[in-house]
Amino acid sequence: MHTFDRNATVFVVDGDMGTSESVAAMVRLMGLKAEVFETAEDFLAGHHHHQPGCVIADLRLCGMSGTSLLAAMRADRSQMPFILMTAFADVEVAVKVMVRGAMTVIEKPYRDQHLWDQIVRALQQDRDQRALSSRRKMLMASIQDLSDEEREILTMMVSDNPNKVISSRLQISLRTVDHRRAEILAKLGIRNLKSLIWHLGGIGWPAEKLKGSEPALTAMQ
């Protein structure tokens, strides 16, 4: 059984209303919300690309093309999963849109099951991305709440400085270093140093740039 964000919407952008309404009907039949737009401009005007969900867009639209829509979304920092549909698919088009961040390219006429499988994949990806973004914001906030000394220790920890070095530089005992390290991990909600380094890499290392910076939207486990 699939679980989705209850606010997730499948946005269908296609000048062929027969196709777009058919896709929307299938989505609604599965218990999800769907909205239809004839042009990319109409879709972007409502800032829908920052909402939970995914986009299914035709390559050839009146006005802005499907590939231009994808470029505009990514330029506006939208990470919404994007499915391109086209009756004119070729390798060059597929490579181009995948490089720009499309999840997949589906050739028309499409098979309902194949399209549905990709929608499920897209909505799960969107859910995971939003959860990831939330985790990053929480980590950033936790780092901001650390004391100056704790941030200094954090910097040395992830730079692979042994406890003896931290102790010498800060003029504190090894026992105190151990205690502070454990406290920092607990405050950040992270279990060990390896995981800490991975998470900090995901929000934009080096540590000197963490304070006041926006987390990058790169992959993090």
Section 18-37 average pLDDT: 95
- The answer to whether residue 123 is domain-embedded is yes
Residue 108: inside a domain? yes
27 with 127, same domain: the answer is yes
| Structure confidence by residue, pLDDT tens digits, 34-72 | 999 999 999 999 999 999 999 999 999 999 999 999 999
Percent of the chain with pLDDT over 90: 65
Of 74, 103, 132, which residue is a domain's last? 132
Residue 3 predicted with pLDDT over 80 = no
Query: What CATH number is attached to the domain comprising 114?
Result: 3.40.50.2300
Q: Is residue 1 part of a domain?
A: no
**Residues 6+ away with beta carbon under 8 Å from 133:** 215, 217
Which pLDDT score is estimated for 135? 84
Number of domains in the chain: 2
- Residue 220 lies inside a defined structural domain of this protein: no
218 occurs within a structural domain:
no
- The reported pLDDT for the residue numbered 218 is 34
Whether residue 152 is found in the same domain as residue 104: no
Is 179 within the bounds of a domain? Answer: yes
CB atoms within 10 A of CB 73: 23
> Whole domain around residue 86: which residue ranges?
9-132
User: Mean pLDDT score of the chain, rounded to an integer?
Assistant: 87
96 and 172: one domain?
Answer: no
> β-strand 53-58 against 9-13: which pairing, if any?
parallel
Question: 195: domain CATH number?
Answer: 1.10.10.10
Final residue in a domain of this structure, among 101, 132, 163? 132
Query: 191-200, pLDDT tens digit by residue?
Result: 888 888 887 8
151 and 125 housed in the same domain: no
pTM for the complete prediction?
0.76
Q: List Cβ neighbours of 46 (8 Å cut-off, separation of 6 or more).
A: none
Render pLDDT for 121-149 as a digit per residue (tens, 0 to 9).
999 999 999 988 888 888 888 988 999 99
Please indicate, yes or no, if residue 2 is contained in any of the structural domains. Answer: no
SS3 of residue 54 by DSSP:
strand
The reply to whether 26 and 123 lie within a common domain is yes
